[in-house]
Structure 1
């Protein structure tokens, strides 16, 4: 679909990948970009329309759908990593991850589906992860929430096909943001994630494999488990 001249909404837009999405949309000629943030009064990024949006609050989601009723692109980027390790720790963080990463995406997508339909179908983009396909004992609940979000993305792709909505799943390994400062692994720049996603929207492509990690893990899904979980 055409990004130039369109109206877009990005959730979790205050920093990191979400802010990179907003900047990329403006750079590609979007007419207006709503930045979904928890505290719009503290958001000062030029060129964006701050919009109060906690994706776990159904009232705020409904208000956002009314305010951004002209949106043709919706990017579900809001996400958290708060869960415990596999064998110890409080499960409340795991519940938070499901509420934000999975149920939040579901609620926003459901609310904006008719908005997108009213504008010819548009595009619904979900920020996923390599963790959608490959779990880890260090962050099992985060990976589970992303696996659920991937499944949900596929369900929306089928359900919204008739109304002409492009549903895009974005997969990547580690991204260089504030949240990954302590991670000593190769990282992709957030701007690169955004740029590749904009290319996918413009080309009507349903899946974005941003980095080599995403491409390798995606290919391994059809092989034996040793490809996903090699023995040390």
Structure 2
């Protein structure tokens, strides 16, 4: 940000210097019309060549003014997710959880949807677990609810809830909704996933793998024909 402000101050200083020089020349009787025309043409040429940079610059001013996020916020911008580490008038830096530095042009930010996970203090954890069709739904729901309620990081208000959210091709999908703080969101999600797996295994409730049944039309007829062909007597030359 300091570098961007320094650049902006130098730019304004240069513009003011040109204005002062032109005013002084005009004051002493020098015709400045041609000079202004040349400077105007040069400004247009420079503006066209720096179109993308100027767009990023304008977007940076909007970000600094309206503050959709600040340094330290955990955000998702387009397909990138990370912690905001630096905001300049040209680009914004995100640091991912695996310590990658992502530099995003500000013009891309103002034209994309921004998800600010830090803007609100609390966040909901959504965990979906698929169980077999022969499993007892009530037992599985009670296990998930009990583990969520007993987790020290979970909120009691709103209360955790488990619903059947899908009857899939291979499983009945149960989804847990439980609230916690932004800081504890990832930790609690990982804890519950591991606890669910152990608890369901203890109750012999299967988490099925994806399966597909393939039906070949006319397969029985083909098998019968092959069997009849094998029974045909062979002739000797």
In the superposition, the TM-score normalised over structure 2's length comes to: 0.20
**Larger relative contact order, structure 1 or 2 (CA cutoff 8 Å, min sep 6):** 1
Q: Which has the larger radius of gyration?
A: 2
- Say which structure is richer in strand: 2
